[in-house]
Amino acid sequence: MYEIALIGNPNVGKSSLFNLLTGENVYIGNWPGVTVEKKEGYFDNNYKIIDLPGVYSLSTGAIDEKVTMEYFLKNKPDLVVNIVDATTLDRNLYLTLQLLEMGNNLLMALNKIDLCKLDYKKIKELENILNIKIVPISVKKKVGIEDLKKMIKELCKNKNYVILKYPKLEKYIEEIIDILKEDQNLKEYNLRLLAIKLLENDDYIINIVKDTDIWNKLEKKLNKINEELKKEYNGKNPFEVERLKLIKKIKEIVYDNNEIYVEKDLTYHIDEVLFNGYYGILVVVPLLWMLFTFTFTASKPFMDIIETLINIFSNFIKEIVTNKFLASLLADGIIGGVGAVLVFIPLLLFLYIGISFYEGTGLLARIPILADMYLRKFGLPGKAIIPLILGFGCNVPAILAARTIENEKDRILTIIINPLCSCSARLPIYVLFASAFFSKNQGLVILSLYTLGISLALILSKIFRIVLFKEEPEELTYELPNYHIPSFREIFVNTWERIKHFLRKAGTIILFGSILVWFLTVFGPSGFLGEDVFKNPELIKMSFSAKIGEFLSVIFSPFGWGWKETTALFYGLMAKELVVSSLGILYGVSGDKLLNILTKYFTPVSAYAYMVFTLIYVPCLATLGVIKQELGLKWTIFVMLYLIVLAYFVSLTIFIIGNLIFC
Amino acid sequence: MTTLAEVESGKEVIIKEILAGQGLRNKLLSMGLREGERVKVLINNRGPIVVLVGSCRLGLGRGMANKILVEELGE
Ligand SMILES: Nc1nc2c(ncn2[C@@H]2O[C@H](COP(=O)(O)OP(=O)(O)O)[C@@H](O)[C@H]2O)c(=O)[nH]1
Ligand SMILES: [Mg+2]
């Protein structure tokens, strides 16, 4: 088995090539410790291809870059396939040179040759200068792919390690490597790459060697070398200077980019409207609306079907299993829990199709740039726009959509404020209370809750940005691909893999959470209560969940909410829409009767406070599940805690002020 | 010499200096925004700026464009 690393700048056609080489043989996971996607695939069984995140250079700023750097620090692939965009060769060469500096068996795949005239003599010259093999291809037109495969196999067998050396810098690299060699702990690392990055003063790399025994010696040496280099290179990064010099030389010999000039094509005209500065953002609003509607409307019938099937199945189980306990465990606990996971599949399916479509058209790179002007004021990156909007439908896909944010801190911030975007599952609660208490101003009351949610989200992100993250959201520079019609095959392969990942990671949490809630409902201190507990207010009173509600209701006594109202909140943890149905069960009524009975237990002010509380307090289990999948346990707990505290204080404030005004 | 943010749409400029820390500088360099490089400002209204570097379009926030010093090329 040979290991092949596929690397290149963003937008060079790396994904397209990867899919072409591997076909359906793809596995998507995460890189260890981070949520950057890790794609692996095979071709001809014997060749394993690793798709590294697209990067412009080997550095350690963004998380994608760290992943790529870590890979090269700790792995020695049999072959590195560097995919390069023929239309922007000189830019792409920066990364190529870095790959050669550290020493690699490297093959260059020169892509998009359908877009430019090729001079094969010049390609030969470039091959000679860099001492590597170059295969011109066009992934789009499927040109040269067989040649590429043949060359990959050839180079895996007969390796041609190339080390690019800059005469003026080589002796320093060697001096550093000599010191690094002394430390056994660094054995697994690519020492040459470490040495180069140390000479470039890369903080991330310095941290790797800082704790080793050789650090003292190393630091002295580095300081001395830096002194010398500073004089020689006028304080500039010497590697940067050498790379640019070599690129310039290559450009003179093999490459003239005079003829590539994109003039006023369709992309230009669309961009002119979009980036107008006045009405550009107006174009974005319908685009976001389309994405939102597509995701949630298209998935709705499928979610309904899954729900119905799950109901039929669980009723069927209840009929054939005679043991009451077993029947309830299977039907309400396990099947109900599986159902709670499965209903997300259509949602994620359509979300990913929608997002990939936007990505494919070239819009996904542009929308954030426009949103950035506005969101930056609140400490959020431009790319937070899509999670923020999707959050009004469901926080689960919204949080997953935050994956496109490369900067780790920006991504965390975007995720932790997302639960404040009021998802559609909270609407039934608002509708119920608004129609019971504010029948004249229903619309206004409901709108006020959505506004409150998004305002809190923006205010808190500003606060978290200042208190927790301390630095500004990353400045944006995006490559803007041409607008075009996306390919659907890639969309489907990737979508299915991502859904599998969700089922494995977040799915298990949701399933176990559902079973736990089931257990707390059908069991009480007196033991198994029978499945009628779901219909009988007298029985549910004896369950563990009612006891928990009773216990917690002390906290809510200022609002005048009792154990029933508190227990309903507890069920809201499972899924927010359950607040309504569990209030019905707890009061033992439904429909219009529920509206009437609510007025006995709530005043308009305490009802409004209750709505505000359900808006803010802990997101549902599924949302917590994806937060854990995306950010880990620590942040999940943080989100739960801050939301509970916030919910309590905001609703209490509203309650007090409301009572002062209206009573 | 002006900053990229002040160049009108349609003008071509040469990048003179990038006033940014090592990290940002490296990012711009590797994306093709290099000192001495000729770029064309495609769109610069009130919003983000779109420039053409070689054959590729880059979108920049205005904050970023303020850190890039350029010299305008005559017709
Ligand atoms: N004209 C042309 N376009 C290509 C070719 N290969 C990829 N593309 C396009 O380049 C864009 C980026 O491709 P993608 O595979 O997503 O690149 P990645 O960002 O490197 O993964 C897409 O719009 C592709 O359709 C090619 O050989 N010729
Ligand atoms: Mg890609």
Question: Which positions in chain B touch A201 (Cβ < 8 Å)?
Answer: 22
User: CA–CA separation, A570 vs A551, rounded Å?
Assistant: 11
Contact (Cβ atoms closer than 8 angstroms) between residue A86 and residue A136: yes
User: CA–CA separation, A496 vs A294, rounded Å?
Assistant: 18
The yes-or-no verdict on residue A58 having pLDDT over 50 is: yes
Token code pair at residue B63: 């904050």
The yes-or-no verdict on residue A261 having pLDDT over 60 is: no
Mutation target to probe the B interface, by most B beta carbons within 10 A, among A478, A482, A483, A484 is A478
Do A567 and A489 belong to one domain? yes
| Span A522-544, pLDDT tens digits | 899 988 888 788 788 888 888 99
Q: What is the dihedral of CA A31, A37, A42, A48, to 10 degrees?
A: -30
DSSP, res A179: H
Contact (Cβ atoms closer than 8 angstroms) between residue A299 and residue A499: no
Total domains in the fold of chain B: 1
- Taking the alpha carbons at both ends of chain B, their separation in whole angstroms is 16
User: CA–CA separation, A370 vs A366, rounded Å?
Assistant: 7
Residue A414 lies in a domain: yes
Query: What contacts A187, CB < 8 A, 6 or more positions away?
Result: none
Residue A237 lies in a domain: no
Position A76 scores a pLDDT of: 94
Count CB neighbours of A628 within 10 A: 18
Q: What is the mean pLDDT of residues B22-48?
A: 86
In this structure, is the dihedral angle defined by the CA atoms of residues A356, A361, A362 and A363, taken in order, positive or negative?
A: negative
Residue A256 lies in a domain: no
CA A448, distance to chain mean position in Å, is: 30
Position A35 scores a pLDDT of: 66
Question: Which of A143-147, A188-192, B56-60 has the lowest average pLDDT?
Answer: B56-60
| Span A186-201, pLDDT tens digits | 989 999 999 999 999 9
Angle separating helix axes A238-254 and A191-199, nearest 10 degrees: 100
What pairs with residue A480 in β-bridges?
Answer: B57
Token code pair at residue B65: 């464009």
Mutation target to probe the B interface, by most B beta carbons within 10 A, among A101, A475, A476 is A475
The yes-or-no verdict on residue A294 having pLDDT over 80 is: yes
Question: Which of A70-79, A207-216, A475-484 has the lowest average pLDDT?
Answer: A475-484
Structural domain range at position B63: 2-72
Position A354 scores a pLDDT of: 87
Residue A111 lies in a domain: yes
Position A258 scores a pLDDT of: 47
| Span A582-606, pLDDT tens digits | 888 888 887 778 888 999 999 999 9
Structural domain range at position A393: 264-663
Q: What is the mean pLDDT of residues B29-48?
A: 87
Angle at A495 between CA A493 and CA A500, to 5 degrees: 100
Q: Is B22 in the A-facing interface, judged by CB distances under 8 Å?
A: yes
Do A180 and A279 belong to one domain? no
User: CA–CA separation, A202 vs A189, rounded Å?
Assistant: 16
CA of A13 to the centre of ligand 2 (A): 7
Do A499 and A612 belong to one domain? yes
Residues of chain A above pLDDT 70, percent: 97
Position A260 scores a pLDDT of: 45
* Residue whose CA is at the smallest distance from ligand 1 atom 22: A13
Contact (Cβ atoms closer than 8 angstroms) between residue A77 and residue A103: no
Q: How far is A273 from chain B (nearest CA, A)?
A: 10
Do A153 and A172 belong to one domain? no
Question: Which positions in chain A touch B23 (Cβ < 8 Å)?
Answer: 59, 61
Residue A247 lies in a domain: no
Give the closest residue to A200 by CA, choosing from A230, A238, A244.
A238
Ligand nearest to the CA of A10: 1
Provide the pLDDT confidence category of residue A457 given band limits of 50, 70 and 90. very high
* Residue whose CA is at the smallest distance from ligand 1 atom 7: A13
Position A504 scores a pLDDT of: 82
Of A115, A144, A162, at which residue does a domain stop? Answer: A162
Is the CB of A10 within 6 Å of ligand 1?
yes
The yes-or-no verdict on residue A80 having pLDDT over 80 is: yes
State the CATH number of the domain containing residue B46.
2.30.30.90
Question: Which positions in chain B touch A368 (Cβ < 8 Å)?
Answer: none
pTM of the model: 0.81
Total domains in the fold of chain A: 3
Contacts 24+ apart (CB under 8 A), A142-145: A142/A20, A143/A113, A143/A114, A144/A113, A145/A20, A145/A21
Angle separating helix axes A89-101 and A238-254, nearest 10 degrees: 130
- Taking the alpha carbons at both ends of chain A, their separation in whole angstroms is 77
| Span A346-371, pLDDT tens digits | 988 998 888 888 877 888 888 888 88
State the CATH number of the domain containing residue A119.
3.40.50.300
Position A257 scores a pLDDT of: 53
Do A145 and A196 belong to one domain? no
Provide the pLDDT confidence category of residue A115 given band limits of 50, 70 and 90. confident
Question: Which of A69-78, A250-259, A386-395, B49-58 has the lowest average pLDDT?
Answer: A250-259
Question: Which of A21-30, A120-129, A235-244 has the lowest average pLDDT?
Answer: A21-30
The yes-or-no verdict on residue A24 having pLDDT over 80 is: no
Do A171 and A158 belong to one domain? no
User: CA–CA separation, B22 vs A238, rounded Å?
Assistant: 12
